[in-house]
Structure 1
Amino acid sequence: MPRSGAAARRRLQQAALELYQERGFDRTTAAEIAARAGVNERTFFRHFPDKREVLFDGEADLGAELRQTVVEAPAGLEPFETLLHAFRKTAQALENNHPWSEPRWKVIAATPALRERELAKHAWLTDAAAEALRQRGVAAGLAGLAARTGWAAYQHAVQSWIDDPTQRLDACLRQAFDDLRALSTATLPGQPRTESWAASPKLVARRKDHR
């Protein structure tokens, strides 16, 4: 995309975020976003199919990066460690762009139409992570479970970071996965202790059978 096109795209994104914060998503039109960005409405629709997609730019690139990072993670990592490795790398852009990430997250959380779009995005990224785990030899069922659970931990970490911006997102991610591991091995009082899924011989054997 020419430099001028990239600049217009960024202005449209910033203008949309400002207007969504000021007026709300439902009360903002594509024409108003274009006017705030200093372009015409036709330019808006040349870059984005509708006003929701302004806040979801780069989804395909993120999915490709996540998939590649999972596949290329160091050998020998368990599924959760593999996902944490990938999330820490892909989340760097989110952390580096905090002035955009925080208000965007809050606008989405407050807007049903955007939350619906966000859920669809999450499902797609979860599928991408699961497919990448399968490429590493993880059994299909375990790959799907790990991807869904790991993505929930990722979302929890991002929310913690948004709620307390004095924290590093990387630290929130590591804490979320530490908590996830603790939950997976926790037992109720009086209950026999069970093996974690990562260390269970049966599950390890199932993973090896699918390599």
Structure 2
Amino acid sequence: MGRWVPGARGRLQRAAFDLFAERGFEQTTVAEIAARAELTERTFFRHFADKREVLFAGQEELTARIVVALAEAPAELSALDAAVVAVGASAEIFGDRPDGPRARQAVINAHPELRERELIKMEGLVAALSTGLEGRGVPGAAAALAASSAVAVFRMAFERWLRSDDGRDLGTCIREALGELRAVTAG
């Protein structure tokens, strides 16, 4: 095993997902993930704090992309529309095919402690959006409500996209979920 191998993070992620699918999350060890990726455990820990973090890698990139998209959203948009535009920017990260995200979500759904961790990560998105909306002049309570609503729209759309086999992309699912939120609140 070499000291430095390009693409180590991606190789570790692929190895982890393969092993999670083959053996299960709880039965898979960091040593096995590193060995499958032909890397050392030390290399694994340079990229991830623990095997759970393999599932949540990219959260910083996702949050950063959403914050930038919110800052770039047209000033005339309502708080909710600006926040939904921001979460919609995440669609590029996930790509066109939900296969990888489906595998990830299956592991998370099977373990309550991972679902809890995912909820904590989603609350981080709410906080980032809320702060960004306040920076746009939206009062605190309204910013928090718009941010929470936008993340709820994102989560609903993401779940729908994972279950979908009709070729709709995540962006389309986000627009549909926003339309449903508007219909519910219009009544």
Normalising by structure 2, report the TM-score.
Answer: 0.92
Structure 2 unmatched ranges of 5 or more: none
Kept in 2, the 8 Å contact 1:68–1:132? The answer is: no
Aligned counterpart, 1:12:
12
- Runs of 4+ that moved beyond 4 A: none
Larger radius of gyration: 1
SS at match of 1:25: coil
1:185 paired residue number:
186
TM-fit CA distance, 1:165: 3.2
Q: Distance in 1 between matches of 2:83 and 2:33?
A: 37
Matched with 1:191 is: none
- Among all aligned residue pairs of Structure 1 and Structure 2, give the percentage whose two residues are the same amino acid: 43
- Map 1:166-181 onto structure 2 (within 5 A): 166=166, 167-181=168-182
Aligned residue type for 2:98:
H
Indicate the residue corresponding to 1:125 in structure 2: 125
Find the counterpart in structure 2 of residue 83 from structure 1. 83
Distance 1:137 1:50 in 2: 39
- Alpha-carbon contact 1:73-1:82 (below 8 Å) kept: yes
What number of residue pairs does the alignment pair up?
183
Determine if the alignment matches structure 1 residue 72 to structure 2 residue 72: yes
User: Mean alpha-carbon deviation: is it higher for 147-156 or for 54-63?
Assistant: 54-63
Q: Distance in 2 between matches of 1:5 and 1:119?
A: 33
Separation in structure 2 between the aligned mates of residue 87 and residue 6 of structure 1, nearest angstrom: 31
Say which SS state the counterpart of residue 95 (structure 2) adopts: helix
Q: Which residue of 2 aligns with 1:165?
A: 165
Q: Does 1:136 align with 2:136?
A: yes
Q: CA deviation at 1:73?
A: 0.3
Separation in structure 1 between the aligned mates of residue 128 and residue 6 of structure 2, nearest angstrom? 27
Instruction: Note the C-alpha offset of 1:111.
Output: 1.7
Cα distance, 1:114–1:71 mapped onto 2, change above 3 Å: same
1:152 is matched with: 152
| Residues 1:5 and 1:62: Cα distance change in structure 2 (over 3 Å) | farther
Q: Using the alignment, how far apart are the partners of 1:170 and 1:135 within structure 2?
A: 25
For residues 67-108 of structure 1, the C-alpha deviation after alignment (integer angstroms, 9 at most, x for no partner) is 121122011101221122112222221134633222112211
User: Which residue does 1:208 correspond to in 2?
Assistant: none
Q: Using a 3 Å threshold, how does the CA distance of structure 1 residues 143 and 5 change in structure 2: closer, same or farther?
A: farther
* Gap regions ≥5 residues in structure 1: 187-211
After superposition, residues 90-101 of structure 1 pair within 5 angstroms as 90-96=90-96, 98-101=98-101
How far apart, in 2, do the equivalents of 1:153 and 1:164 lie? Answer: 16
Q: Is the 8 A contact 2:30 2:51 kept in 1?
A: yes
Equivalent-residue separation in structure 1 for 2:6 and 2:129 (angstroms): 29
1: CA distance between counterparts of 2:180 and 2:67?
Answer: 24
**Contact 1:80/1:146 (8 A) holds in 2:** yes
Q: Indicate conservation of the 8 Å contact 1:130/1:143, yes or no.
A: yes
The corresponding residue for 1:46 is: 46
Quote the Cα distance in structure 2 between the aligned partners of 1:6 and 1:102. 26
Q: Distance in 2 between matches of 1:165 and 1:157?
A: 14
